[in-house]
């Protein structure tokens, strides 16, 4: 049998601990595949006590991840620290400069410094692999980098954040408000105490930045992604869209257009009978539209110790077999600049929810604002809420509270929609800012 394949693991949190457990339980199986022993030679963590666990009895502890990255006893450096800079970036750079292969699950690091790290890996003839950085156990990186490398990708999109999908699923199934479900997600450990990174769409944007580069051969460009979260989604939106045959999902979508790449994270309406509408709870899904392979949908666990550790281990096995290729498929020197498409040029249908003052002419004002922008309406539904008199009160005319109007448009440009809604808001006929959600044709 050949020399052992030695690992240095930096970070023994959820994913790092999961990887240690996987190698401890399935190490013999992996070794039989590779034809040589797989061995954890060294580990690094915030506290030495974290290394006192089954599977690490023979691993050397390093208080400094950079020192571990440079250590001659390891062949592969596994970075599971997290964060876009700091010790995570320094240790990965040290490993690559020391001609060590690197496996990471760090989406923030790659979305921010992916190109420069890819250049460093290619310069030193080593691998920089990151299957676990996007969608956990779902093998979307390998699918784009290997299985579909001969195809031209038309679009890549998906549910890339389990926290948001859980919240929207619970709002749908249990008819509960956003704030209430968010508290449940925090109690279950799906959302952080400060959930902004998830519910604000930023976690999805990091992942989409990586997928966009792989799909279209462009430099990673996190700052070119339009980002909207789910904070504005209300139970009224959930109920209205359900009655119209839709589900609301937070989607990351990237596609190549004539004016550039449209990459956006935002809530979207999808038809109830579409496959992605059925993806519920914390599950993730990634869809790829390719010219020869057609439409592919990958669904699975997007986070957690075991699923993410599985993805990390798959990269380790590839390296163990000597399979080395440019991190973003295209050599980094040949990656194109990311040319951002104008979001206002997006062409599609829209859902709009308006809350109107009970005043004459409100509906006519809305129709005019839409008509002036040549926006054709597919459907318009008005819900007027009537407040009955209190028991025992003298009879008087029923009191009308503000009316909710739901509009579905035919296809139009985003610029036209935004300008029409600006006009409606300025006219003073609405009690709150209009809600607009794109309808995604899948």
Residue 387, beta-bridge partner list: 399
Chain-centre distance for alpha carbon 107: 10
Angle at 297 (CA atoms; ends 348, 79), nearest 5 degrees: 110
Question: In terms of DSSP H, where are the helices of 154-268?
Answer: 162-174, 178-187, 196-199, 202-216, 235-243
**Calpha distance 288→147 (Å, rounded):** 12
Question: In terms of DSSP H, where are the helices of 325-373?
Answer: 362-372
CA distances from 204 to 109, 119, 304, 399 (A): 14, 25, 16, 44
What is the separation, in whole angstroms, between the first and last Cα of the chain?
Answer: 50
Tokens of 277: 């509408």
The residue count of the chain comes to 442
Closest CA to 108 of 197, 7, 214, 17: 197
- Cβ pair 43, 7 in contact under 8 A: no
3-state secondary structure of 196: helix
Tokens of 377: 């309406």
Question: In terms of DSSP H, where are the helices of 35-85?
Answer: 65-70
Return the axis-axis angle of helices 414-426 and 362-372, rounded to nearest 10°.
150
Question: Looking at the annotation, which residues are catalytic?
Answer: 207
């Amino acid at each position: 049998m050949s020399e052992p394949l030695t690992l240095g693991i930096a970070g023994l949190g959820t994913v790092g601990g999961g990887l240690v457990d996987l190698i401890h339980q399935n190490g013999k199986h992996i070794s039989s595949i590779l034809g040589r022993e797989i061995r954890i030679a060294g580990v690094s963590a915030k506290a030495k006590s974290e290394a006192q666990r089954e599977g690490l009895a023979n691993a050397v502890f390093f208080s400094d991840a950079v020192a571990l990255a440079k250590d001659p006893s390891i062949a592969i450096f596994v970075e599971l620290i997290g964060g876009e800079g700091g010790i995570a970036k320094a240790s990965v750079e040290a490993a690559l400069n020391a001609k060590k292969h690197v496996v990471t699950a760090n989406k923030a690091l790659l979305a921010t410094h992916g190109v420069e790290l890819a250049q460093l890996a290619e310069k030193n003839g080593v691998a920089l692999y990151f299957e676990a950085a996007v969608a956990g156990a779902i093998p979307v990186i390998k699918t784009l980098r290997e299985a579909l490398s001969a195809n031209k990708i038309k679009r890549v999109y998906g549910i890339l954040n389990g926290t948001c999908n859980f919240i929207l699923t619970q709002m749908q199934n249990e008819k509960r408000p956003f704030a209430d479900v968010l508290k449940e997600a925090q109690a279950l450990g799906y959302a952080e105490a400060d959930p902004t990174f998830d519910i604000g769409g930023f976690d999805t944007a990091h992942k989409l930045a990586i997928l966009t580069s792989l799909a279209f051969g462009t430099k990673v460009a996190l700052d070119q992604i339009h980002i909207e979260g789910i904070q504005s989604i209300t139970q009224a939106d959930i109920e209205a869209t359900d009655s119209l045959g839709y589900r609301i999902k937070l989607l990351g979508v990237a596609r190549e257009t004539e004016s550039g790449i449209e990459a956006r994270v935002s809530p979207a309406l999808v038809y109830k009978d579409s496959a992605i509408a059925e993806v519920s709870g914390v599950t993730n899904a990634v869809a790829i539209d390719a010219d020869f392979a057609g439409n592919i949908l990958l669904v699975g666990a997007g986070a957690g110790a075991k699923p993410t550790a599985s993805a990390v281990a798959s990269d380790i096995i590839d390296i163990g077999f000597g399979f080395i290729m440019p991190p973003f498929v295209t050599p980094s020197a040949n990656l194109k600049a990311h040319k951002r498409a104008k979001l206002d040029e997006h062409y599609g249908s829209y859902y709009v929810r308006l809350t109107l003052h009970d005043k004459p002419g409100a509906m006519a004002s809305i129709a005019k604002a839409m008509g002036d922008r040549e926006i054709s309406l597919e459907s318009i539904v008005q819900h007027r809420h009537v407040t009955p008199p209190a028991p025992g009160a003298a009879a008087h005319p029923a009191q009308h509270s503000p009316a909710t109007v739901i509009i579905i448009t035919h296809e139009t440009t985003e610029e036209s929609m935004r300008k029409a809604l600006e006009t409606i808001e300025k006219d003073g006929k609405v009690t709150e800012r209009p809600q607009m959600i794109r309808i995604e044709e899948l």
